[in-house]
Amino acid sequence: MKRLNVGIFAHIDAGKTTLTERLLYEAGVLRALGSVDDGTGFTDFLEVERRRGISVRDATVTFSYRDTEINLIDTPGHADFFGETELALSAVDVAVLAIAAREGIEAQTELLLEAIARRNLPLVVFVNKCDLGVSRETLLPPLKKAVPCELLEWDAPDFTENAVFALGDEALLDEYLSDALTESTLTKSLRAACSAGKIAPVLFGSAKTGEGVRALLDALCDLFEFSAPAAPFSAFVYQVEHRKNLGKAAHVRVFSGKLSVRDDCFDRRTQSSFKVAQIKRIKGEKYVDVTELSAGETGAVFGLDGAAAGDLLGEAPAAAPILRFTPYLRVKVTPPDGKLQELKSALEELSDEFPMLSLEWRKEKRELTVAVSGKVQAEILQETLMTRFGIDAALGEPSVIYRETPAKAAYGFEAYTMPKPCWAVVKFFIEPLPRGSGFLYESVASEKRIAYRYQEHVKTAVRQTLEQGLKGWQVTDLKVTLVDGEHHVQHTHPLDFFTATPMGVMDGLRNCGTILLEPVLEVRICAPEKALGKVTGELASRRAKLREPSFEGGKFTLSAQIPAEETFDLQETVSSLTGGRGAYSAQLLGYFPCPEGHGKARERAGVDPLDRSLWILHCRGAYQ
C-alpha cells in the first residue's frame, strides 16, 4: 500500500481544522462531524483547544483511502504557534494549503508559502468556503502570483489541455494533439511533476458542505507518490506528548530504514541512545500497537525519555529538516508559594513538547523564564499549567531577548599559572562579523604550544562563555581565533583550560567593547482599506519602518519592520482596529543595533570570569 504524509496548513480561520474533520468523515474515519466552534473537533483534543476553538499544536491521524495509507497532520493556524507548524512542515511529504475564498492570500498564508518554498515541498491548494459565493476569476490571479509553482485547476472543463501545457512535454503534446494521449499516461506524468513540486493542483470547495473534499482525497492519491531511500534508519521527532496511562510519546516520521520495538534508538541532539519500549500508530480514533515503523510511516514511540520535538534520530537524513526557532520575547513564570520544583518539572515537560518555549532556569536566582511569541501563547501556557498540572502560575510582563556583538576587533589574553598546580595560557583574537553571521571559531595555535586535547577544551569553553557577554546577553556575529597559548607537561591539569578560556575571552570582549542588539520582526497586515490610517498610525507609534502598502479588492497589504519589544499585543490591537477583519503574521528578521535609550543589560547569572580571583576559586570548587 502506498503511503503519504500530508499536512493541513492555513491562516487562522481559513477552515483548516474543519477541512481535516471533513476529510476524516469522507474517508470513513468519523461517523459524525464535529465542530470547531462547539469544541467537538476530532483533532482539537486539548482542553484549551476545545474551549478557545483554535488549534495550538499538531494532531496526527492515520487512515486508508483507496490504495493509500494517509498520515494526516492538522496544524495550528495562529501566528503565535508557528513553531508547531514548522515541525509539521519538516515531517510531511505534501502540504495542503487551505485558503478562505473571500479572504484570499492573507498574511500568514504568505508566510506559509515561503516556508513551503524553502523546503521545495509539494503542494495542493484547497480554496475553502466557496459556498459563500466568490468567483474563481477573482481568486486565480492572486493565487498564481503567490504560489511558487505552476497551478493546475483540478476540476476545470479544459483540465486535460491545461495539464498537457503545464507539463511542457513535447511528446505528450504531440500525443494530445493526435488524440493518442491516454488517461494513465497523463496521470503518470502529472504524478511525477506534482511529487517533484513543479505543479500544484488547486481545488475549489467547502469543508462545511463537503464540496470538493472527496476530490481532494482523490487528487492526493492520484498525483503524489514517494519512494523511500535505501539508507540506514533516520527519523524526525515532530511532536512529543505526555499521556497519563502511557507516559512520554515521541511522534516520529521515519525517513529511511525501520525502527522496531526493543531497538536502541540514537538521538542526535542528546548524543545518547534509548531503548524503544512500545510503538503505536493512530488508526482512526484508536492507538494500535505495532512492532515496527518503516520508511514513510509515522507513529508514537515510547521509551525515548530524553527526546524533544525537533530531534533527529538515527542517521542524519539527506535533506535535514529546516527549523527556525529563534525566541525573542521572554516572560518570568512565578509559582504559588512552595511550588517552585513542581513548576520547574511542569515546564521541563512542556519544553519537550514545545521546544520554542526555550525554558531557562537561572539556578542562582531561582528564576524560571520561557520564550513566547505573543499574548495568546502566554495565556494558553498559563491555562495549561493550571488545567494540566494544577499550578496557578503568574506570568510577568514580556521582556526582550537582546544580544550583543563586539564593537571592534581586539585581543584577549589569560595566563593561568598560579596558584599551582595549574598551567593554561590562551591568547584570542576577537573580531566582529556582519549581522546574521552568528559565531565562528578557528584555531591557528600550534599543537606543540597547546596540545590537541586541550584545544578541544578551549573550543567548548569559548562557546559556553559567549552565552553571557559584558551586558549579560549572548554574544553573536563574531569570530574568535585562538592565536597562541601554552600548556605545561607537568603542571597542566585537564580542567585548566576550562578555567583560563572564559577569562581570556571576557578579557577580549572588554577590550573590544560590545554593542547591544535588539530583535526586529517583519510583520505583514492585510485588512480593509478604511482601516489603513489607524493601522499605520499604530505601527508608527511602535517604532516601525513602514513599506508602501499594496491594494487589491478593497483591502491593503502592508509590511513593516518593527522591534520585538513593541509587538507583544500587536496582533490583538490590529484585530481591534480592523473590527476583527485584519490578518496578521510576523517572523524574526534579525538582530540590529539598539537605538540610544532602548534596550538594557541583564544581570549576570553565576560568577563573572572578569572577577579573576573569585572565578578561579569558583572553578576550583572553593566558592559556590
Residue 179, exposed/middle/buried by CB under 10 A (0-12, 13-18, 19+)? exposed
Q: Identify the bridge partners of residue 313 per DSSP, sorted by sequence position.
A: 235, 267
Residues ≥6 apart with Cβ < 8 Å to 91 = 5, 7, 73, 236, 238, 253, 298, 321
d(CA 273, CA 295): 20
Contact between residue 71 and residue 5 where contact means Cβ atoms under 8 Å apart: yes
Q: State the angle between helix axes of 159-167 and 183-195 in degrees (0 to 180), rounded to the nearest 10.
A: 50
Helix, strand or coil for residue 182?
Answer: coil
Q: 90 and 236 in contact (C-beta within 8 Å)?
A: yes
DSSP element (H, E) containing 431:
strand 424-432
Is-cis flag, bond preceding 419, omega within 30?
yes
Tell me the fold of 516-593.
Answer: Alpha-Beta Plaits (3.30.70)
**Which residue, chain included where needed, has cell 580542567?**
495
Tell me if 2-223 shares its fold with 516-593.
no
Map residue 277 onto helix, strand or coil. Answer: coil
Record: fold of 404-512: Ribosomal Protein S5; domain 2 (3.30.230)
Of 520, 443, 508, the residue nearest 475 (C-alpha):
508
- Would you list the domain boundaries of the chain? 2-223, 234-314, 329-401, 404-512, 516-593
Give the CA dihedral 249, 303, 324, 457, nearest 10 degrees. Answer: 160
- Out of 1.10.730.10, 3.90.25.10, 2.70.150.10, 3.40.50.300, the CATH code matching 2-223 is 3.40.50.300
From CA 127, how far away is CA 537, in angstroms rounded? 33
Say if residues 88 and 8 touch (Cβ distance below 8 Å): no
Low-confidence residues in the chain, pLDDT < 50: 44
For the domain 234-314, what is the CATH code? Answer: 2.40.30.10
β strands within 189-326, DSSP E: 199-204, 234-243, 247-256, 258-260, 264-267, 272-275, 278-283, 286-290, 292-294, 298-302, 312-314
Helix segments in 61-212, DSSP class H: 82-89, 107-118, 136-146, 159-167, 170-177, 183-195
Looking from the CA of 94 toward its CB, the CA atoms found within 13 Å total 32
End-to-end CA distance of the chain: 61
3-state SS class at 244 = coil
* Edge-to-edge order in the sheet of strand 424-432: 410-416, 424-432, 478-487, 439-443
Residue pointed to by grid coordinates 549581522:
435
Q: Closest Cα partner for 361 from 351, 372, 353?
A: 351
**Class of domain 329-401 (CATH, top level):** alpha beta
Residues in contact with 27: Cβ distance below 8 Å, sequence separation at least 6, in sequence order: 63, 64, 65, 70, 217
CA dist., res. 308 & res. 318, Å (int) = 21
Beta bridge partners of 60: 73
Q: What is the pLDDT of residue 54?
A: 62
Whole-number pLDDT of residue 50: 54
Single-letter amino acid, residue 179: D
